[in-house]
Structure 1
Amino acid sequence: MGFIRGFDEDTLREVVDTAECDARLAEIDGQRSLPALLERVWLLKVLGRLDEALSLGDETVRFARMAGTRQDLLRSRVLRATVLQYRGAYAAADQEMYTCAAEAEGQGWPSIAAFAHQHRGRNAYEAGDFAQARESFKRTLFLRREAGADDAALESALRAIEAADKRRGPALVLS
């Protein structure tokens, strides 16, 4: 997304241009397609409007369950779990992300599994579980390679692994 200006070092959350996010949210308000709903959830989340994001996330999951594919449903569930993460419900977010990652891997959908693992890693990182974050980020890297991701996506996973390593401390990085 073009709204992302970087990532916060303490949380790995997106740093966004709020004015651009507000403008985009107004632009797509009322659109009912699944991509538009997913984008609105993400925009509400990064703008800190978490109650609205969670409510719309629930609606998006229902919509995907009824009118989308299983892949759409997994993406919707992971996105809703990121809202839980932003609300501080790390255990609930982790469980949902783990379940989605496992289902995606079981179905042979490496890009969706990588998406779930990346967010699971960010959730663990923010919760202070840097060992779990590192494992999730490593799995993300493996799955992205399997899916044929571009260099930027691979570099993003490598930077996340490095961030988790720095937070774990030098004695633990060798594991």
Structure 2
Amino acid sequence: MVYNGLLTTFPREIRLFIAVFVIILSIGFFTGLLFVKQTDSTTPAGVEENYLGNEDDEDAAVMKFKKGDREMLTIVHTHILSMAFIFFLLGGLVWISDFPKKWKLFLTIEPFLSVILTFGGIYLMWKGISWFKYIVIFSGTLMTVTYAFSAGLVFWQCFQPKKH
């Protein structure tokens, strides 16, 4: 089955539909990153403080408390499930784009690994393995870069001249 470049053969209306979907998906994805920035979770210390609290820090501008069991399970559960759907849908669109197969394999498999490392890492850090905060930052950054590239690729190809 030939699927490389299939996206560029779709009718204009379907490509517009896909482009709008990618825009809305990206608004949702990057709004989540704004929340991460808002909670000061963009540094290893910030990630640790956000989940483990800072009640021992008398100089803290904002008091944060360690997340409870239910809250952590809810965070991990909802993020892993929703991110799996996001990357499955976007990955399907990447596979029908016109791009080298090895790059498509990386762009579609890596985010699933990053989701597990990011949210599994948050959970393990919360359980006491504090060095996982570095894994969380690295995998979260890689997941974001991969998402942005994949979304940009699909969006760009939606506006390429139709191939027959």
Normalised TM-score (structure 1): 0.26
Normalised TM-score (structure 2): 0.27
Higher relative contact order (CA 8 A, sep 6+): 2
